Chains A and B, each alone.
Chain A
Amino acid sequence: MINNHEILETIKMITDEHLDIRTVTMGISLLDCADSSLDKICTNVYDKITKKAENLVKTAEDIEARYGIPIINKRISVTPASLVCAASKDASSYVAYAKALDKAAKEVGVNFIGGFSALCQKGTTESDIKLINSIPEALSETDIVCSSVNVGSTKAGINMDIVRKMGEVIKQAAHLTQDSDGFACAKLVVFANAVEDNPFMAGAFHGTGEAETVINVGVSGPGVVKAALENVKGADFGVVAETIKKTAFKITRMGQLVAKEASDALGVPFGIVDLSLAPTPAVGDSVAYILEEMGLEKCGTHGTTAALALLNDAVKKGGVMASSYVGGLSGAFIPVSEDAGMIAAAKCGALTLEKLEAMTCVCSVGLDMICVPGDTTAETISAIIADEAAIGMINNKTTAVRIIPAPGKKVGDVVEFGGLLGSGPVMKTSPYSSYDFIMRGGRIPAPIHSLRN
C-alpha cells in the first residue's frame, strides 16, 4: 500500500510544481496515401488522419481525468511530406498538402501536426526541393502545421546547399508572417541527426522505420526538479545528481503509465517515452531556474554548461529505468522564449547566443526559439545553422535550429508569441559576414568517427 506521504508528494508535484505530461503524440504513416495526383493525396491523408486519430483527444482527456494528471498537448506526427508527395509529378508546390494536414488536425482537435518535412542530410530529391520551396507559404497559410528539414548527420556529413537554402527559407517565412513578428519561423526546425520518433514540436515527424501508427509520449517537469533541488541546498554534486535522477525516475513513470494507457485504449502500439525536461513560460516551470538553483546567479554565466551537462545526464539516468522504451530527443530543452528563466537571463544580458551554442553541446536539441534582429541576413542564419549542425555531426547527437529573424525588430526588443511559445528577447548576432563561406555550397564530408563498420 502506498503511504500518505507518497500520495501527497505526487499531488504536490501536480498542483504546485507543474508536473504534467507535455504531449501524447500519435505517429501515423502516410506512405500508403501516395498518388500521382496531389489532390488525391490530399484527400487520402485527410481521410487517413481523421480516421486513425479520431479518438486521440478524447482518450487523452479520459486518462487526464482518471489519473488527475494534466496532458497539455495532443499531437500528430506524420511521414515526411516530401516522401508522401514524391509521386505527384503534376504539382509544383505542396502548399495544398500542408492545408490538408491543417484541416485534418483541426478536425480531430489536436494542438499541432508535424511532418511537413524533408530529410536532405546527404542530397535532395526533386520532391525535397518542392517541399522546401513550399515551406514559407505553407507555414504562413496554415495554423498548426509544423515543418522540419534534416540538413546533416554524423553518417552523411552536412548538406551545405540545403543549409544555404534554409537561411533563405527562414527569411522568407518571417517576411510572409511579418504581421505576427515572423511567427511562421516558430513552426520550422532545421535539424542535424533528426530522430524518427520525437513527440515534441515543431520537429516531430513519423519516420519510415516506424510502425503504421504509434503512440509516443513526452513528459515535463522542470518545476519538480527545481523543487527537489531546493531541499539539498549546498550539498555536493553527487547529491545533486542523485536528487535529479530520483525525480526524473518519478516523472518518467508518469509518462510510461500514460503512454501504456493511451496505447491500450487506442489499440495502437506504444513507441517511446521521451525523457526531455520541457519548460513552459509559466513561472516555476523553467530549466534555467534549475541551473540557477545549482548555484548560478543567472543562467548563462560561467558554469552554466557544466550545470546543464550534469542535469541532462542525470535526467537520462533516472528516466531510463522508468520506461520500457526510451527514445525521441531525451534530454533537457533550452527554448529561450518558452522558459521564464531563460527569458529573464537573455533580457539582462547574462545569456548570449554564443553561450547558448556552447550549452547545445551538452543538452538535447539546440538553438531553440531564438529571436534575432529582422535585418539578420539569410547567410548569417545559414551560418548559425551550419555551426549547430557541426556540433550535432561531430558529437553524434541531435541538434536543431529554430530561429526567428523578427521583421522590424532590433536587439533588446521583445517578440510576443503567446501561449506555450512565450516571448523572446531579440538577441545579438555577430556583425561580421559569413557570406563567402555559405556561398561555397556542396557537402561537408562525414567525420572520421562515422566509419564504425
Chain B
Amino acid sequence: MKAIITVVGNDKVGIIARVSKILAEENINILDISQTIMQNMFTMIMLVDVSEIKVNFNEISDILDALGKELDLSIKIQHENIFNSMHRI
C-alpha cells in the first residue's frame, strides 16, 4: 500500500531529516520525494510504501501530526487512492 506524505509550512533546517527518521523507525520506505517553494511556503511531497509498516496507519498519522505541531508545519499522510480517485478517471 502506498501513501502520500505532504509537508507544508515555513522552511527551516532539518525538516526532511526529522520526517525521514520517523519513517525509518516505522519501517516505511520512501519511493519518491520532491520539494519546492510555493507561494513562499516550503512544500514537500513524498510517495512512501507503508505495506511493511510496524504500527497501524492511524498511529503513523498521529505521530506525524505531532511532529508537525512541534515544527509548526502541516504534515499529513494519506492513502494515495484519495488523489487517484479525485484526479483520474
Which residues of A does B touch, CB under 8 Å?
1-2, 4, 6-11, 15, 62, 65-69, 250, 253-254, 256-257
Give Cα distance in the complex from A68 to B58, angstroms.
10
Q: Which of B12-20, B22-30, B75-83 is found at the contact surface with chain A? A: B75-83
Judging by beta carbons under 8 Å apart, are B85 and A8 in contact?
no
CA distance A65 to B65 in the complex (A): 11
Q: How far is the CA of A305 from the CA of B34 in the complex (A)?
A: 46
A11 to B74, CA, bound (A): 10
Q: A66-B78, A257-B81 are in contact. Are A4 and B88 (CB under 8 A)?
A: no
Contact of A4 among B36, B74, B79 (CB under 8 A): B36
B→A interface (CB under 8 Å): 4, 6, 8, 32, 34, 36, 38, 43, 45, 47, 57-58, 61, 74, 76-88
CA distance A401 to B9 in the complex (A): 46
Shortest CB-to-CB span from A55 to chain B, Å, is 15
Which residues does chain B contribute within 8 Å of A67, judged by CB atoms?
A: 78-79, 81-82
A254 adjacent to B57 (CB under 8 Å): no
Q: Which of A4, A9, A62 contacts B34 (CB 8 A)?
A: A4
**Cross-chain contact of B58 among A10, A15, A62, A253 (Cβ < 8 A):** A62
Tell me the minimal C-beta distance from A327 to chain B in angstroms.
19
Count CB-based A-B contacts (< 8 Å).
63
The answer, among A1, A4, A8, A254, for a CB contact under 8 Å with B82, is A254
Query: Can you name the residue of chain B whose Cβ is closest to the Cβ of A3?
Result: B87
Q: Given A4-B45, A253-B85, A254-B82, list of 19 further CB < 8 A pairs?
A: A2-B80, A2-B84, A4-B34, A4-B43, A7-B83, A8-B38, A8-B43, A9-B87, A10-B82, A10-B83, A66-B57, A67-B78, A67-B79, A67-B82, A68-B76, A68-B82, A250-B86, A253-B86, A254-B85
Q: Which residues of A contact B47 (CB under 8 A)?
A: 1
Contacts of B38 in A (CB 8 A): 8
Write out the residue numbers on chain B whose beta carbons fall within 8 Å of the beta carbon of A66.
Answer: 57-58, 78-79
Q: A8-B6, A11-B6, A62-B58 are in contact. Are A68 and B78 (CB under 8 A)?
A: yes
Min Cβ gap A27→B in Å is 23
Most interface-central of B32, B77, B82, B88 (chain A CB within 10 A): B82
Q: Are A2 and B81 in contact (CB under 8 A)?
A: no
Whether A2 contacts B88 in the complex (CB less than 8 A), given A65-B61, A67-B81, comes out as: yes
Residues from chain B with a CB closer than 8 A to the CB of A68 are 61, 76-78, 82
A-B contact pairs, 28 of them (CB 8 A): A2-B4, A2-B80, A4-B36, A4-B45, A6-B83, A6-B86, A6-B87, A7-B45, A8-B8, A8-B38, A9-B87, A10-B82, A10-B83, A11-B8, A11-B76, A15-B74, A65-B58, A65-B61, A67-B78, A67-B81, A68-B61, A68-B78, A68-B82, A69-B78, A253-B85, A254-B82, A256-B85, A257-B81
Q: Who on chain A is nearest to B8 by CB? A: A11
Interface centre among A1, A2, A256 (most CB of B within 10 A): A2
Q: Which residues of B contact A250 (CB under 8 A)?
A: 86-87
Point out the residues of chain A lying under 8 angstroms from B84, CB to CB.
2
Main secondary structure of the interface of B (DSSP, over half): strand
Bound complex: CA A2 to CA B4 (Å): 10
Residues of B within 8 A of A15 (CB): 74
Cα distance, A68 to B76, chains bound together (Å): 7
State A67–B3 Cα separation when bound (angstroms): 9
A254 to B86, CA, bound (A): 6
Q: What CA separation (Å) do A46 and B82 show in the bound complex?
A: 35
Which of A4, A9, A15 gathers most chain B CB within 10 Å?
A4
Name B81's closest neighbour in chain A (CB-CB). Answer: A257
Q: Which residues of A contact B81 (CB under 8 A)?
A: 67, 257
Q: 7 closest A-B pairs (Cβ-Cβ)?
A: A68-B78, A67-B82, A65-B58, A257-B85, A2-B83, A6-B87, A253-B85
A75 to B81, CA, bound (A): 25
Q: Do residues B61 and A2 form an inter-chain contact, with CB atoms below 8 A?
A: no
Measured between beta carbons, the chain B residues less than 8 angstroms from A2 are 4, 80, 83-84, 87-88
> Please, how many angstroms separate the alpha-carbon atoms of A4 and B44 in the complex?
9
Give the chain A neighbours of B4 by CB distance below 8 A: 2, 7
B83 partner residues in chain A, CB cutoff 8 A? 2, 6-7, 10
Shortest A272–chain B CB gap in Å is 17
Cα distance A194–B34 in the bound complex, in angstroms: 50
- Within the assembled complex, what's the spacing in Å between the Cα atoms of A67 and B85? 11
> Chain A residues near B6 (CB, 8 Å)?
7-8, 11
CA distance A66 to B8 in the complex (A): 19
Report B77 CB to chain A, min CB distance, Å.
7
Once bound together, how far apart are the Cα atoms of A253 and B84, in whole Å?
Answer: 9
Interface contact B58-A257, CB-CB below 8 Å: no
Question: In the bound complex, how far is the Cα of B34 from the Cα of A253, in angstroms?
Answer: 26
Question: How far does the alpha carbon of A369 sit from the alpha carbon of B62 in the complex, in Å?
Answer: 37
Q: How far is the CB of B82 from chain A (nearest CB, A)?
A: 4
